Amino acid sequence: MWGFFIGRMSGMNTTNHAMQNIPNVDLIIEAHWVATVVVNAPLLEHYSVIVQADAIVDLLPTVLARKQYTATKLVRLDEHILIPGLINCHTHVAMSLMRGIADDLPLMTWLNDHIWPAERAMVSEQFVRDSSLLGCAEMLSGGVTCFNDMYFFPQATAMAVNQAGMRANLGLAVLEFATNYASDADDYLQKGFEAHDSWRGNALISSSIAPHAPYTVSNLTFEKVVTYAEQLGLGIHTHLHETRDEINQSEAQYGVRPIQRLAQLGLLGPNFVAAHGVHLLPHEIDLLAEYGCHIAHCPSSNLKLASGIAPIASLLQNGVNVGLGTDGAASNNRLDMFAEMRLAALLAKGVSEDPTTLPAHQALEMVTINAAKALGLEGKIGSIEVGKQADLVAVKLSDLDISPCYDPISHLVYTCGREHVTHTWVAGELRYSNGVYANIEPIELKEIVQTWQPKLRQYKH
Amino acid sequence: MWGFFIGRMSGMNTTNHAMQNIPNVDLIIEAHWVATVVVNAPLLEHYSVIVQADAIVDLLPTVLARKQYTATKLVRLDEHILIPGLINCHTHVAMSLMRGIADDLPLMTWLNDHIWPAERAMVSEQFVRDSSLLGCAEMLSGGVTCFNDMYFFPQATAMAVNQAGMRANLGLAVLEFATNYASDADDYLQKGFEAHDSWRGNALISSSIAPHAPYTVSNLTFEKVVTYAEQLGLGIHTHLHETRDEINQSEAQYGVRPIQRLAQLGLLGPNFVAAHGVHLLPHEIDLLAEYGCHIAHCPSSNLKLASGIAPIASLLQNGVNVGLGTDGAASNNRLDMFAEMRLAALLAKGVSEDPTTLPAHQALEMVTINAAKALGLEGKIGSIEVGKQADLVAVKLSDLDISPCYDPISHLVYTCGREHVTHTWVAGELRYSNGVYANIEPIELKEIVQTWQPKLRQYKH
């Protein structure tokens, strides 16, 4: 059909003078359905997205698009829904090589006997680059175009992100204690700013300052983080209220719960993304709402590590913006935003005992526009609108194992899996399609696994 | 590799007299890993399953199997784990055409305005056959070899099961009120027994009596069910304690909670499978344990319909046998036992706040041997053992989007999805492999969807 259609357009160009004024664009995507994820906008049927360079330049019915544009590339998606690229709001992509290394263990055993020893022994610039590339490949094939990361050696993750052709908001990790990456909080900060400088001007990579968690970062360091974030105009990304232990420890050490401590230190604000937020009291939810903070809800990880279940229905009712995250592959064990979207929607209903809680369209917003808001990127990504970046994902809705489809949005959330993603574009470039990556060879990923897995195996449960 | 190996075996046969005594069997499956799901048995590595007709006749290291057997068919699974066929312990397969017809609605709106009107208008022998075939195809491709069903026109479901070549325990549905299928409880029972007689002698189909639920079945009918179940040696399959409303209604009408009422009526026993069991008090869990009843836990459906979260950790601690089910496609919306296995394991940890709850191997038991016990079929299916039926599933563990794999069982539960199933055998016959069914044509399924979806669409949300 592709060749046929191009032929028809060329033919029209030669026979109709009026057609000579038709602009030729880089890419036209004709989709059966387009979910723009713009508030109150209807689901579009038989629409085309017109892409020039990295941006969406028009969005119109396909019957009109065929008259108004020609394209260097035309993609017809007769059985697909086109959605904004999915955004993973909290992950540690460089932990991909530790996927499933230690499951079904108490948290402190998991950390002390498996994850931390493995990290101490293995984590290096090369490890982070390799493991991040594996994770980027996994995410691209599952329709993820952007992720919010936090890990050591962020410049090595940036190398993988660049190769994959994805978008990322990379955390400049800060802790008090020494690792292979840095010696103390000031060293972390300095290395973070060097990394930040290294991707300055890169249109696909942005930064946030990422103090690891209230239990690993001192008051003095948090104060520095606030100052630097203000000076550089950066967001702040941290783990917060993930476990009961973290809260008990804070009460013992600081006399207050972590969120109160961070509020006192001036961290809360519209540039603040708290991963998890599992254990929150009503007045803490109010606090998050008042300050315009964002929650990166990680339902799979919170369940798997037995942290608990975040009060999402209550957060939403109180107007707190919530994005979804996978967390790292060591606690999930998939970087799969379809799984998180489905689980978040189901879990919120089950816990609230109200089946109208977190309907499908809202779950889709959480992995697109709401996540973009959390990263301060809602002007660029998160919805399909003219002027925004062409971060787009096609999902085939017609496979027989998921038929019939009555409501494409509901189908996307409750029935589809990431295995139904057929195309992933980032900034107008096709980065993944039907098993093939633009810039990643399967043999390269296989070699990464074969190189590192034997070394990591000694830390396995 | 297949041709090469067969060639080598034939060559050996002609040159070595000793080889002439080597038995030729129907099927040898050489697998990298074999999870037998036998209690306390280790994961087997480089083992072969030897199949003759419908049964497993040997299980031995592949190096030995190559010396001891030749086969008409040899399947090499170098990167796969072989597991027992998955058993869906509670479903309504004939609701597959209603997948996603009405999501995110309050339960009574969902039932009164969508599901029941659609059923009243559509359900017929032809509908049940067609819709069941669609569901059977979905399940086979996801590694499900057997399911425990409850719906109208079970003989029509049996037709689909026969075509698909699956195994099923079909419920003889009983209600008080009239439907397209039957007029009153006695009519349901009579039609059920006719259906039961129709598949007598069919090795793959068994029956249970399926009184719909405590709120749709009278005491008198329950008493008849108990009598018939004893006389015919059948199991009993019902919905129980799915919602708080059901319990409140029973207290108002009968003065006791439903489980107490069923206990008084003599229903509880080792042949009793209760779907859901979401709301259970500690003494009710004791009661289930004492009587040796089984719970078919349906985590996706219970969350999606906002029924709540079943106390699985407590059921397991008290020795109640738990299988997993998808429920129907109108409330899930996938008949996907990988999704249920993962969700059950995650949810039990999150709710109990103990990450060691429901470890991966136990989740696998719930969809295999424990489900077989619930159906009284543990002598035939549910594990890979000599003498049992060759209901087997191969899952490829090496795809790059799920690499690396440190622990195959944990990988199967937390990382794989049904999209990694490559082969599904039922009673020694390959019924599904890599997108192709033995006895179901894609065009047939497409026609089923195209026939019924336009008629059902008027009932959609």
Distance from CA of A353 to the nearest CA of B (A): 4
Task: Report yes or no on B449 lying in a domain.
Answer: no
Residues contacting residue B377 through CB under 8 Å, at least 6 positions apart: B146, B169, B206
| Domain extent for A112 | 86-374
pLDDT tens digits for range B51-87: 999 999 999 999 999 999 999 999 999 999 999 999 9
Closest residue of chain B to A141, computed from CA coordinates: B401
Per-residue pLDDT at A20: 63
CA distances from B139 to B102, B296, B328 (A): 22, 17, 12
| A365 close contact with B: CB closer than 8 A | no
> What's the average model confidence in pLDDT over B204-210?
98
Claim to verify: residue A111 and residue A80 sit in the same structural domain:
no
Token code pair at residue A357: 């809680």
Residue B238 lies in a domain: yes
In this prediction, residue A19 carries a pLDDT of 53
Find which of A246, A307, A400, A445 to mutate to test the B interface (most B CBs within 10 Å of its CB): A400
Q: What is the CATH number of the domain that holds A410?
A: 2.30.40.10
Q: Annotate B333-350 with b (16+ C-beta within 10 A) or e (fewer).
A: bbbbbbbbbbbbbbbbbb
Binding-face residues of B in 172-231 toward A, CB within 8 A: none
Question: C-alpha B83: how far from its chain's center?
Answer: 14
* Chain B residue with Cα closest to A304: B346
Residue by residue, what is the 3-state secondary structure of A222-283? HHHHHHHHHHHCCEEEEEECCCHHHHHHHHHHHCCCHHHHHHHCCCCCCCEEEEECCCCCHH
What is the distance in angstroms between the Cα of B306 and the nearest Cα belonging to chain A? Answer: 4
Q: Which of B144, B400, B432 to mutate to test the interface with A (most CBs of A within 10 A)?
A: B400
C-alpha B192/C-alpha B212 separation (Å) is: 13
The one-letter amino acid at B348: A
Residue A410: its chain B contacts at CB < 8 A? 100, 103-104, 333
**Domain co-membership, A69 together with A214:** no
Give the pLDDT score at B7.
Answer: 33
Ranges of beta strands (E only) in B191-248 are: 205-211, 235-240
The answer to whether residues A199 and A102 belong to one domain is: yes
Backbone torsions φ then ψ of A144, nearest 5 degrees? -90, 125
Q: A340 with A192, same domain?
A: yes
Q: Which of A350, A407, A414 sits opposite B460 (nearest CB)?
A: A407
Chain A hits for B110, Cβ within 8 Å: 355
Chain A CB contacts of B333 below 8 Å: 410-411, 414-415
Residues 225-264 of B with CB under 8 A from A: 244
> Sheet holding B436-437: strands in order across?
B55-61, B44-52, B24-34, B70-84, B392-396, B421-426, B429-433, B436-437
Q: Which two three-digit tokens encode residue B283?
A: 């003494």
Minimal Cα distance from B245: which residue of A?
A353
Three-state secondary structure readout of A9-41: HHHHHHHCHHHHHCCEEEEEEEEEEECCCCCCC
A 10 A CB-CB count for A367 gives 29
Residue A445 exposure: Cα atoms within 13 Å on the Cβ side: 25
Regarding whether A135 and A7 lie in a shared domain, the answer is: no
Are A217 and A150 part of one and the same domain? Answer: yes
Q: Tell me if B158 is assigned to some domain.
A: yes
What percent of chain A clears pLDDT 70, i.e. is strictly above it?
A: 96
Q: Is B270 on the interface with A (CB under 8 A)?
A: no
Q: Give the gap in angstroms from C-alpha A312 to the nearest C-alpha of chain B.
A: 14
Residue A157: which CATH number? 3.20.20.140
Cβ within 8 Å, pair B100-A417: no
Q: Judge whether residue B19 has pLDDT over 60.
A: no
Cβ contact B100–A352 (<8 Å) = no
Residues A146 and A79 in one domain: no
Residues on chain A touching B303 (C-beta within 8 angstroms): 346-347, 349-350
Summarised one tens digit per residue, pLDDT across range B297-317 is 999 999 999 999 999 999 999
What the block records as the tokens of B87 is 């058993």
- For residue B160, the distance in angstroms to the closest alpha carbon of chain A comes to 16
Q: Which of B101, B103, B136, B297 to mutate to test the interface with A (most CBs of A within 10 A)?
A: B103
Task: Establish, for the pair of chains A and B, how many residue pairs have beta carbons separated by less than 8 Å.
Answer: 195
B357-410 pLDDT tens trace: 999 999 999 999 999 999 999 999 999 999 999 999 999 999 999 999 999 999
CB atoms within 10 A of CB B5: 15
Which of B95, B136, B333, B351 to substitute to test the interface with A, most A CBs within 10 Å? Answer: B333
Residue B12 is predicted with a pLDDT of 41
Helix or strand or coil: residue B386? Answer: coil
Whether B433 is in a domain gets the answer: no
**B320 domain residue, yes or no:** yes
- B-chain CB neighbours of A134 within 8 Å are 400, 403
Task: Test B400 with A138 for CB contact under 8 angstroms.
Answer: yes
Closest chain B residue by Cα to residue A106: B355
Q: Which among A300, A401, A404 has the least Cβ separation from residue B346? A: A300
Distance between CA A461 and CA A111 in Å, rounded?
A: 11
Chain B touched by A40 (CB under 8 Å): no
Interface of A with B in 109-168 (CB under 8 A): 110, 134, 137-138, 141-142
**Residue ranges of chain A with per-residue pLDDT less than 70:** 1-20
pLDDT digits (tens, 9 = 90+) for B421-461: 999 999 999 999 999 999 999 999 999 999 999 999 999 98
CA proximity to A51, closest of A369, A394, A361, A376: A394
- Cα A408 to Cα A32: distance, rounded to the nearest angstrom: 10
Asked if the C-beta of B282 comes within 8 angstroms of chain A's C-beta atoms, the answer is: no
Q: Which residue has the tokens 């229903």?
A: B267
**CA triple B41-B44-B50, angle to 5 deg:** 105
Q: Is residue A28 part of a domain?
A: yes
Kindly state the DSSP code that residue B82 receives in the 8-state scheme: E
- Enumerate residues 417 to 456 of chain B having a beta carbon within 8 A of any beta carbon in chain A: 417, 419, 442, 445-446, 449, 452-453, 456
| Residue in A103, A399, A415, A455 to test binding to B, most B beta-carbons within 10 Å | A103
Q: Say whether residue B305 is in contact with chain A using an 8 A CB cutoff.
A: yes
Shared domain for A358 and A324, answered yes or no, is yes
In the stretch 311-350 of chain B, residues with CB closer than 8 A to chain A read 332-334, 343, 346-347, 349-350
Q: Looking at the predicted structure, is the pLDDT value of residue B8 above 80? A: no
pLDDT of residue B16: 44
Q: How many CA atoms lie within 13 A of A241 on its CB side?
A: 23
The β-bridge partners of A447 are none
Q: How far is CA A236 from CA A147, A150, A205, A208, A273, in A?
A: 15, 11, 15, 5, 6
Is A278 an 8 Å CB contact of chain B? no
Both A96 and A196 in one domain: the answer is: yes
Query: Is the Cβ pair B400, A304 closer than 8 Å?
Result: no
Nearest residue on chain B to A142, alpha-carbon basis: B401
In sequence order, what DSSP letters do the residues of B154-194 get, joined into one string?
HHHHHHHHHHHT-EEEEEEEE-SS--SS-SSHHHHHHHHHH
Q: What is the pLDDT of residue B351?
A: 96
Nearest Cα of chain B lies from the Cα of A304 at a distance, in angstroms, of 5
Distance CA A96, CA B322 (A): 33
Q: Are residues B48 and B96 in the same domain?
A: no
Domain total for chain B? 2
Question: Is B410 at the interface with chain A, CB within 8 A?
Answer: yes
Domain-embedded: residue A448: no
The single residue listed with the structure tokens 């509020």 is A263
Q: How far apart are CA B274 and CA B278, in angstroms?
A: 10
- With an 8 Å Cβ cutoff, are B103 and A414 in contact? yes
Token pair listed for B208: 């249970």
Q: Where are the alpha helices (DSSP H) in B357-414?
A: 360-366, 369-374, 408-410
Task: Please indicate, yes or no, whether residues B369 and B398 belong to a single structural domain of this protein.
Answer: no
Nearest chain A Cα distance for residue B308, angstroms: 5
Give pLDDT, residue B107: 80
> What local confidence, expressed as pLDDT, does residue A461 receive?
86
User: Which of B300, B407, B461 has its CB closest to that of A460?
Assistant: B407
Residue A451 distance to chain B (closest CA, Å): 11
Interface residue B11 vs chain A (CB under 8 A): no
pLDDT of residue B39: 92
Cβ distance B350 to A141 less than 8 Å, yes or no, reads no
B353 in contact with chain A, both atoms CB, cutoff 8 A: yes
A407 touches chain B (CB under 8 A): yes
Q: Does residue A200 lie in a domain region?
A: yes
pTM of the model: 0.95
Q: pLDDT tens for residues B106-153?
A: 888 998 999 999 999 999 999 999 999 999 999 999 999 999 999 999
Question: For all residues of chain B together, what is the average pLDDT?
Answer: 95
Residue B283 buriedness (CB in 10 A; 0-12 / 13-18 / 19+): exposed
Q: Which residues of B138-153 are buried (b: 16+ CB within 10 A; e: fewer)?
A: bbbbbbbbbbbbbbbb
Are A40 and A152 found together in one domain?
no
Task: Provide the ipTM.
Answer: 0.94
Asked if B288 and B268 touch (Cβ cutoff 8 Å), the reply is yes
Q: Residue A12 has what pLDDT?
A: 41
Matching residue, tokens 């018939």: B228
Q: How far apart are CA B419 and CA B416, in angstroms?
A: 8
